[in-house]
A and B are shown apart, each in its own frame.
Chain A
């Protein structure tokens, strides 16, 4: 073997892709290295709900054969990728983190899966998540929580904690996530990784098990900004199977990273997300990053989004309302679990018993809340008002973007909290999403990338940039530039500072035992 496995798994997707193209490593070697890494660390991390080595290696063999035959392949062909379990796959079970879908094998592929397969990426497994993407910690997964690779007693964020932990723990260089209120960006923040929520409609939602259809968006998860851009270039674009899919022609986001520069870029700091309620170590790293951007020619100003204080409230009405409607499909008839109540009963009794047994506490909470917000007599006061707040949030963003190119804030108020820390207090858990939710309400794109470790706990801190709808490229420009400036300052990547989860692995590899 030309490379030791511990070296392969630490490569970024773009670096691995270069080695694959140069014939220095095969897709089978790369896939096996990641499967072995999953084997050695995932017992502790629990990023994955399902892997199938034989299936993944079969795909890798095929890519290697095509490359050997001289076929011209996509730049990322042969690179392994982890898939959030909210995305349906016709060759791997898909549960969305719920017992109600345990063991379900979808009869079709999501559009993003078709695009990944067409580009020759190697799906390496399905990642853990809060049930139906309802949560900020993965503690609401029916299959047990994922652990943060930086500190196994802490949350990896959510709902896409599995995808973020998988890339942070070097179990995959890339992953797919979905972001309804921050489920890609907040896990990136707490795991020292990169995550992007594209413009609403920029990536097809066909085959993403819906949480809240007007908020959900699939996006890339990775360790570098360039890797997210490369993945975004593959999964983006119009899909006739998703009626909310935009017909825009998108520029190359990878090119946006490669020519990244912040000189003259106008950056607006969101006043409402820069102070009260934010951990000191988070704010410290955030402000250092702003200073670095300013020192390199960015123009930093402060902007106010006065409606932001109503955004969480609006979100926690709109999201459960849409969820209660979307989750009505789990009816014990067409797919998933069926539980027959003692003594039998009508189809309605079976349905009610099934949903009682199949949904976890957070899913029930949100379905009941959403049913309440939509019910006669309350609709206008709750759901109707929340939709008006959505208009106000959009107007705030429009006014802000009239004066700046991108907006910036810390991605979340705190670093990773301990597993179980917010048990029994759903509202405290909901406040984690304060900085990420507004983008979903407005449909605009956002990125989170690491800016260092908080002084008080040594845990990763992320910065979030937001851009106007359809201007995703700006996120890659500013994100790519900041990442380079920070790494030049540090002399290393942030993720290289994560604890070694399998300390014996490197020594063993050097002795040729692995």
Chain B
């Protein structure tokens, strides 16, 4: 039933922010097609009267007291960053030329 195309995989890769190579797009298109054919059977039994389960053991209203917790220091939070200026993460331009 699935007709996964290379264009579709390229679009998904863009949504997922992975700069896939053309070779990867080609092989993933084949593999995804086969996997999706195998997993699509879920719709056979998923009738309208069956409720969805998102969570194996439902819990509700898990709150804690509204008090400051034990949080990381700025230094700790920045310790693993590829680039920072001492108090903030540093990144390249947010907007491209056409934006």
Contact = CB atoms under 8 A, between A and B. Distances in A.
A278 interface: no
A137 B68 CA distance: 43
A111 to B, nearest CB: 12
Interface in A105-122: 105-108
Contacts of A375: 12, 15
Contact of A351 (B17, B20, B45): B17
Q: Which 8 A-B pairs have the closest CB atoms?
A: A443-B56, A338-B82, A385-B46, A335-B80, A387-B52, A388-B46, A107-B76, A352-B19
B22 interface: no
Majority DSSP secondary structure for residues of B touching A: loop
Contacts of A401: none
14 contacts: A200-B56, A243-B59, A244-B55, A328-B16, A334-B81, A347-B93, A349-B19, A351-B17, A368-B9, A371-B16, A382-B36, A387-B53, A389-B46, A443-B56
A337 to B, nearest CB: 7
A355 B42 contact: no
Given A314-B42, A388-B51, A355 B15 contact: no
A389 B45 contact: yes
A353 interface: yes
B88 to A, nearest CB: 10
Majority DSSP secondary structure for residues of A touching B: helix
B28 A388 contact: no
Interface string B20-62: 1100100010011011101111111111001111111101001
Contact of B56 (A338, A352, A394): A394
A404 B36 CA distance: 35
Given A352-B19, A441-B56, A389 B42 contact: yes
Interface of B: 4, 8-9, 12-21, 24, 28, 31-32, 34-36, 38-47, 50-57, 59, 62, 64, 72, 76-77, 79-83, 89, 91-96
Contacts of B8: 372
Contacts of A310: 41-42, 44-45
A199 interface: yes
Interface residues of A, number: 76
A390 B64 CA distance: 29
B50 to A, nearest CB: 4
A99 to B, nearest CB: 14
A464 B64 CA distance: 37
A159 to B, nearest CB: 18
Contact of A368 (B13, B43, B52): B13
A365 B52 contact: no
B35 A214 contact: no
B52 A346 contact: no
Given A244-B55, A391-B52, A106 B42 contact: no
Given A368-B9, A372-B36, A388 B52 contact: yes
A391 B24 contact: no
A359 B18 CA distance: 9
A106 B46 CA distance: 41
Residue among B14, B39, B72, B92 with max Cβ neighbours from chain A (10 Å): B39
